[in-house]
Structure 1
Amino acid sequence: MKKISKKVLILAENLEVNRTSSGLRSNKQILLYERYFKDVEVLTTTPQDQFKQLVNVKYNYIDTTNINLGFLNKIPKIKAIPAYLYGFNLKNLKTIKLWQENIVNILNKHNKDLIVVLATGISHLPSMAMIKVERKLYGKYLQFIHDPYPVSCYPTPYKIKKNRIEQILFKKFRCVVNKADILSYPSLELQKWMQNHYGSQLENKSIIQHHIGLNKNELESILTDYNSKNTIKLNQGLNVTHTGTLIGHREPRILFKVFNEFLKNNPEAKDVMYINVIGKVTNFWSSLKATSQNIKIFEKRISYSESLDIQKQSDVLFTIEPVTDVSPIMHGKMADYFTYEKPILALTSKKSENARLLGYDYALCIENGNEKELYKALELIYCKYINNTIFELNVSHDKRKVVFPENWIEALLNKLN
């Protein structure tokens, strides 16, 4: 595909690939913008020695390390005043102003056809900065919404009470979504969820750009440790693996319990089948594995590059969401999982993006908390493996292609043209 002759400015809050999921997600998006557009420039608050830059992309750094907060900010009661009045503490307010100044400086020097905002976690500082950037300075503005915002808009069990600060943040983010020309979501369920909070009128400016699935070779230009040696070795046999932390409400205790029950009823499986968690697990849930030698938890931090290798080596990949009625979020690891032609065990809710993508009738898509169905799924995985037919559980190409770059750029071009 011929590169598009539009000038793009990307506001990327975090670009640390091996430390945060948002850093990885943003680097992947920058990689694709560089692939499809002739002129790409990035503005970030991540120091340039903490990530790998693409050769054909210009990077600009906003230094927030020397922000002067003043001596009054050391007094707790005074320190709390800015957040109470404006929704953000003093440092974040000054950081937002720095974003505004740097954005305007770039736009005054160079015409940009498209501004793309990639926020991190529950921060959205560059998103807030865009509220006061004049429309006449740029062509179109795309806001990527990776999760519900603010936290009071999250579904149970994550949501918190809508206190004064949350109300302020909600009003500010309403300004963001109203000002943006394009709202990009990694999940159709998330789009619906946010429209329930901010209004159905947003549908006309919304697109779905699922998290991007790229193989390791395609990611070489952003992986700082592409050729590093792996530190984790999986057991010989049937490996059912989760890469990433399992803390908070995303608990594996039901999986551990049902798996131990399955091994008790099928002792021959003990020599074959293993559950691997590559990442930190809450201590209480980690202790539950003591009842089985077939549950392996590797809490040592590894690189994203190594996690991709482990996914490739595994026979089945699994993901866990909270026990809840609805889960609109698509986690980035699903895009990684979809790059492989493998079975995916998804412990999710009936109304979730994972269930929608995998198909509600997919044999390994299980409502989290349904022990009976989970037992059947583990039994099915084991039987298929023993009979050398586990490939029959692979997620189909038609379902996996939603994370392919071709779909990502097609969704964007439909709004740009």
Structure 2
Amino acid sequence: MKKRVLIITYYWPPSGGAGVQRWLKFSKYLPDFDWEPVIYTPENPEVPVDDPSLLEDVRPGLEVIKQPILEPYSFYKKFIGQKKGERVNAAFLSENKAPGFKEKLSVWIRGNFFIPDSRRFWIRPSIRFLKKYLEEHPVDAIVSTGPPHSMHLIALALKKKLDIPWLADFRDPWTNIDFYPDLNLTPLADAKHRNLERKVITSCDKMVVVSRQMKTEFEELGGKNIQVITNGFDDADVGEETPESDKKFSIVHAGSLPPNRNPRILWKVLQELVTATPELADSLQIKLVGKVDISVLEDIRSHQLEPYLKLVEYVPHDEVMKILQQAQVLLLAINQTPNAKGILTGKIFEYMAACRPVLTIGPTDGDVANILNDVQAGLISDFTDEEGLKKNILEFFNRFREGNLSVNSEGIHQYSRKNLTSILAEHLNKITS
């Protein structure tokens, strides 16, 4: 008989973007390992994008419980002059203009008054609702996934009231996240964040994080019983037929490009290369798929690279893999932040599944570098290594001209969503045995 696990997640289809993928895929494969998931998620979330195609990944018969959530975004939009129907971007990304005084003030208010985040008003109603639900429909374990970390506070309260084994999953850090300093917290607000974080990581029965560096950071904060389960790729997302490759020497980035992920060194190096190498200038295409901060576009223009630029609006996830497989080179830009070594985006695994070479800019001793080297999926250079980056681009370009630009991505099966779910199921078994 299958065990039941309640999964508390803010992001769920038809919401799109990176945040929804992890637990959508876990819930898809958990029944194969004798766990029946029950999803608890907001009825009316404020999300950057919608992607109805992800509904196809929801396992038939899956129980999904939705409750309304009250969020302050309608007031936020009115305050900064944003239209009611416009979406709020994550990671301080602004597509049309640089943040002004009102936007900066709103960030300060968000960090200091909406603790741990703007979904805090969903905590108490959810505790009341779920306590009653769980008393009538028992589960064997609870999972909370954040950010937003309000999800963890819901699970924390249920753990105290009902003593159900609890696994806390961190897709990103809490106080160690890259934009934490940008919140401009008062000492009191900072202390509140850290106190809540400490309660969560010391009260759960198991912590799961997505990278080794995150594991180390949480251990230093007092976290125990921490397991690394990375993000991954779903074999079902990779089509049986490989689409024809781009004719141009395309360097493709999929996903959002906020300011701290802007690879300024790349624009500088590419400007030098197209000036010095006419063959590259004739073949180059820079393809950015998804939301792009205005600072990135301004840097591209300032380096005279706009003629090579192709912008692609957000596309459904089921079309992303085709674009990745068509690319000549896939660009992975790591956030230039103090926690850069531990940043391990889900994007890298889908890049590897596309079997196209990955051009990475980031720490050469970080988690991404270790995985790239492990599966021989691409080349990496540090944030300031212009010569190394230039060498890597030229190596890829020469192989493109010779018609042998490909990678084997050996050993990537360990990062398949189904294999990762088997590991998750083992740890759920351990905390419930």
Query: Could you state the TM-score of these two structures normalised by the residue count of structure 1?
Result: 0.80
CA distance in 2, matches of 1:190, 1:179: 18
- Indicate how the Cα distance of structure 1 residues 213 and 86 shifts in structure 2: closer, same or farther if over 3 A, else same: closer
Matched, 1:376 2:391: yes
Q: Which residue of 2 aligns with 1:227?
A: none
Give the C-alpha shift of residue 117 in structure 1.
Answer: 1.0
Map 1:357-368 onto structure 2 (within 5 A).
357-359=371-373, 364-368=379-383
Q: Which residue of 1 aligns with 2:86?
A: none
Quick check: 1:273–1:382 contact (8 Å CA) kept in 2? no
- Indicate how the Cα distance of structure 1 residues 33 and 243 shifts in structure 2: closer, same or farther if over 3 A, else same: same
Q: Which residue of 2 aligns with 1:102?
A: 129
SS in 2 for 1:390: coil
Q: Which residue of 1 aligns with 2:115?
A: 87
Q: Which residue of 2 aligns with 1:63?
A: 68
SS in 2 for 1:59: strand
SS in 2 for 1:317: strand
Q: Which residue of 1 aligns with 2:314?
A: 301
Equivalent residue for 1:385, pick from 384, 400, 424: 400
- Letter matched to residue 174 of structure 1: R
Q: Which residue of 2 aligns with 1:245?
A: 256
Quick check: 2:344–2:367 contact (8 Å CA) kept in 1? yes
Quick check: 1:114–1:141 contact (8 Å CA) kept in 2? yes
1:377-417 residue CA offsets vs partner (Å, 9 max, x unmatched): 000001111222222xx263225633442144225405624
Quick check: 1:15–1:46 contact (8 Å CA) kept in 2? no
Q: Which residue of 2 aligns with 1:71?
A: none
CA distance in 1, matches of 2:392, 2:121: 52
**For structure 2, which runs of at least 5 residues remain unmatched after alignment?**
73-78, 80-107
Q: Which residue of 2 aligns with 1:70?
A: none
Quick check: 1:13–1:44 contact (8 Å CA) kept in 2? yes
Quick check: 2:334–2:343 contact (8 Å CA) kept in 1? no
- Indicate how the Cα distance of structure 1 residues 376 and 10 shifts in structure 2: closer, same or farther if over 3 A, else same: same
Equivalent residue for 1:142, pick from 142, 167, 171: 167
Quick check: 1:7–1:38 contact (8 Å CA) kept in 2? yes
Quick check: 2:246–2:327 contact (8 Å CA) kept in 1? no
Matched, 1:174 2:198: yes
SS in 1 for 2:217: helix
Map 1:336-375 onto structure 2 (within 5 A).
336-359=350-373, 364-375=379-390
Q: Which residue of 1 aligns with 2:216?
A: 192
Matched, 1:209 2:211: no
Identical pairs, percent: 17
Q: Which residue of 1 aligns with 2:23?
A: 26
Query: Could you state the TM-score of these two structures normalised by the residue count of structure 2?
Result: 0.77
Quick check: 2:245–2:328 contact (8 Å CA) kept in 1? no
Structure 1 stretch 296-305 or stretch 48-57: which is displaced more?
48-57
CA distance in 2, matches of 1:104, 1:297: 50
CA distance in 2, matches of 1:135, 1:269: 61
Quick check: 2:229–2:420 contact (8 Å CA) kept in 1? yes
Quick check: 1:210–1:402 contact (8 Å CA) kept in 2? yes
SS in 1 for 2:4: strand
Give the C-alpha shift of residue 279 in structure 1.
Answer: 2.1
- Letter matched to residue 263 of structure 1: V
Equivalent residue for 1:317, pick from 319, 330, 333: 330
- Letter matched to residue 154 of structure 1: I
Equivalent residue for 1:36, pick from 24, 33, 50: 33
Equivalent residue for 1:267, pick from 256, 262, 278: 278
Quick check: 1:358–1:395 contact (8 Å CA) kept in 2? no
Matched, 1:5 2:2: yes
SS in 1 for 2:262: coil
Q: Which residue of 2 aligns with 1:226?
A: none
1:107-149 residue CA offsets vs partner (Å, 9 max, x unmatched): 10122112111234xx211211122224573542111111110
Q: Which residue of 1 aligns with 2:105?
A: none
SS in 2 for 1:269: helix
Quick check: 2:141–2:165 contact (8 Å CA) kept in 1? yes
Quick check: 1:346–1:366 contact (8 Å CA) kept in 2? yes
1:70-119 residue CA offsets vs partner (Å, 9 max, x unmatched): xxxx9xxxxx9998688358x74431001111221221012211211123
- Indicate how the Cα distance of structure 1 residues 81 and 208 shifts in structure 2: closer, same or farther if over 3 A, else same: closer
**For structure 1, which runs of at least 5 residues remain unmatched after alignment?**
68-73, 75-79, 220-229
Q: Which residue of 2 aligns with 1:225?
A: none
CA distance in 1, matches of 2:194, 2:8: 21
Q: Which residue of 2 aligns with 1:115?
A: 142
Q: Which residue of 2 aligns with 1:154?
A: 177
- Indicate how the Cα distance of structure 1 residues 252 and 211 shifts in structure 2: closer, same or farther if over 3 A, else same: same
- Letter matched to residue 58 of structure 1: E
Q: Which residue of 2 aligns with 1:222?
A: none
CA distance in 1, matches of 2:278, 2:71: 60
SS in 1 for 2:64: strand
